[in-house]
Amino acid sequence: MQFELTTNILDSLILAIEEKNTAFLNKQLHDLYPQDIAIIINQLNLDQAAYLYEILDDDVAPIVLLELDDDKREELLATFSSKEIAEQIDNMDSDDAADVISELPKKIQEEVLSHIEDIDQASDIAELINFEEGTAGSLMAKELVSVYAHETVNACIEEIRKQTDNVDVMYAVYVLDTNERLIGMLSLKKLIISHPLAKIEEIYEPDIQFVKTNTSTEDVAEFMQKFDLVVLPVVDQLGRLVGRITIDDVMDVIKENSEENIQRMSGISDDVDSNDKLWRLSRARIPWLLVGLCGGIIGSRIIGSYEDQIKIHPEMAYFIPLIGAMGGNVGVQTSAIIVQGLANNTLLGDNIGSKLLKELGVGLINGLICSGLILSYAFLIEDWKLAATVSLALMTVILCASFLGTFVPLTLNRFKINPALATGPFVTTLNDIIGITIYFFMGHILYSFF
């Protein structure tokens, strides 16, 4: 069912491109969906990509363009004239066209708009590119079907005939009052099965959900998911219908957010993927590595301050990695659960105290199990003082990590900072330092006084 690009297929296509074997390429690409052709082009260098794009059918090319990676599309478009770009986006949905244009430099944007033949399309795009990134306005499309409440079903069907030239899939018909304000919707089903002379105002559904142009994309995504909506109308500040958002665009937002969160958790600070350039991949990772490096240096100073003790009791050093690793593991486990609860709204935002207690409870159970096991092990292998130090320190470290893993994301969330930031290297590094401090302090006490 699904196309899978292998190195074999890719190599044969590259060879054909180098040999300008258009017949072979057309044959190979003919059975593929535009989405699959985009996957191929993403793997080509610019010359190869431009050549392959050039030979695509006119109805396929714009879809391929939309499906390309952002970087590859930008590269490819840079080789086009403004007029050529205008031809590609003339038949796109207005939201897709606006997405493509908004990646271009301001000056080129104007040139491209001036070359678009369909005046309505050009003015729709011009309107859309002005909405701020991250708002409902930047996600919406202008293609929709609307009717006035005072019209009849027959007049409405006539109107739809006219309007649907621009609309590929029609999910609903929006109902407006005479001031263009959105007052409800009409299901197509209702339209099909109602009497031709019935008035729209008698059959429409006034209970309609909508967002404003300045609603954030995160709120739009949450809203559509919560109510299982496929399409959501967008109104301006006066309540006038200005566009609609479909679920596929929202899914892209959700996917990007989830990927960004996973990257945050993994200590990657920029939106990168594995096809990016070496230097970009390195740069995205170095900040958290430097944080880890600083954490490691602080750790070395703390251990360094117990130099005399290590000389007498070198066995203290054996369990340094265990204490650090366990603190990190517990911290990440705890914060992942809290971050997920916040994302799903299954946590009450103002209820930090009871969450802390619960996570400390989990920490207590797991801490008792782990420190019990390590106590038995270290008692058998080493002396009782070391065994006591390691197991007491481990217990304390696990409780501390449970506390931090709960407290840090809840606090970040309260200050409207993405709590996923707390789930990764930050919590791990902090727990590392705290763990070592506790471990050596306890060792110092036990070895000094007993």
Window 414-443: residues binding a second copy (CB under 8 A): 423-425, 428-429, 432, 436
Q: Does residue 188 bind a second copy (CB under 8 A)?
A: yes
Does residue 36 contact residue 3 with C-beta atoms inside 8 Å? yes
Minimal distance in Å, beta carbon 232 to a second copy?
Answer: 12
What is the distance between the alpha carbons of residues 187 and 173, in angstroms, rounded to a whole number?
A: 6
CA 23 to chain centroid, in Å, comes to 40
Of 393, 368, 372, the residue nearest 447 (C-alpha) = 393
What is the distance between the alpha carbons of residues 311 and 306, in angstroms, rounded to a whole number?
A: 9
With CB under 8 A as the contact rule, which of the stretches 78-86, 136-144, 162-170, 441-449 interacts with a second copy?
162-170
Q: Does residue 178 bind a second copy (CB under 8 A)?
A: no
Q: Does residue 361 bind a second copy (CB under 8 A)?
A: yes
Taking the least distance from each CB to a second copy, the nearer of 80 and 319 is 319
With CB under 8 A as the contact rule, which of the stretches 13-21, 98-106, 220-228, 235-243 interacts with a second copy?
220-228
Tell me which of 12, 21, 32, 33 binds a second copy, using CB under 8 A: 33
With CB under 8 A as the contact rule, which of the stretches 74-82, 98-106, 290-298, 441-449 interacts with a second copy?
290-298
Tell me which of 261, 389, 396, 413 binds a second copy, using CB under 8 A: 261
Kind and range of the H or E run holding 395: helix 384-414
Q: Does residue 108 bind a second copy (CB under 8 A)?
A: no
Size of the site for a second copy (CB under 8 A): 129
Q: Give helix then strand counts, H and E, for the chain.
A: 22, 6
Taking the least distance from each CB to a second copy, the nearer of 56 and 211 is 211
Minimal distance in Å, beta carbon 362 to a second copy?
Answer: 5
Site residues for a second copy, 303-332, by CB under 8 A, read 303-304, 307, 310-311, 314-326, 328-330, 332
Give me Rg for the CA atoms of the chain: 30
Which residue pairs from 276-283 have beta carbons closer than 8 angstroms and sit at least 24 positions apart in sequence? 276/71
**DSSP string over 58-105:** TTTHHHHHHHS-HHHHHHHHTTS-HHHHHHHHTTS-HHHHHHHHHTS-
Taking the least distance from each CB to a second copy, the nearer of 39 and 101 is 39
Kind and range of the H or E run holding 241: strand 241-246
Taking the least distance from each CB to a second copy, the nearer of 81 and 300 is 300
Q: Does residue 45 bind a second copy (CB under 8 A)?
A: no
Taking the least distance from each CB to a second copy, the nearer of 73 and 86 is 73
What is the CB-side half-sphere exposure of residue 138 using CA atoms within 13 A? 17
**DSSP string over 307-353:** HHHHHH-GGGGGGHHHHHHHHHHHHHHHHHHHHHHHHTT-S-TT-HH
Tell me which of 108, 126, 149, 160 binds a second copy, using CB under 8 A: 160
Q: Does residue 207 bind a second copy (CB under 8 A)?
A: no
Q: Does residue 251 bind a second copy (CB under 8 A)?
A: yes
With CB under 8 A as the contact rule, which of the stretches 99-107, 111-119, 129-137, 268-276 interacts with a second copy?
268-276
Q: Does residue 204 bind a second copy (CB under 8 A)?
A: no
Q: Does residue 397 bind a second copy (CB under 8 A)?
A: no
User: Which residue's entry shows tokens 């809840």?
Assistant: 410
Taking the least distance from each CB to a second copy, the nearer of 26 and 164 is 164
Residues ≥6 apart with Cβ < 8 Å to 212 = 136, 234, 235, 236, 237
Site residues for a second copy, 87-106, by CB under 8 A, read none
| 3-state secondary structure (DSSP) of residue 180 | coil
Tell me which of 181, 199, 285, 444 binds a second copy, using CB under 8 A: 285
Tell me which of 86, 98, 125, 370 binds a second copy, using CB under 8 A: 370
What is the CB-side half-sphere exposure of residue 78 using CA atoms within 13 A? 10
Of 28, 33, 31, 2, the residue nearest 15 (C-alpha) = 28
Q: Does residue 214 bind a second copy (CB under 8 A)?
A: no
Tell me which of 62, 137, 267, 443 binds a second copy, using CB under 8 A: 267
Q: Does residue 113 bind a second copy (CB under 8 A)?
A: no
Q: Does residue 180 bind a second copy (CB under 8 A)?
A: no
Q: What tokens appear for 323 in the block? A: 């204490």
Cβ neighbours around 256 below 10 Å, total: 12
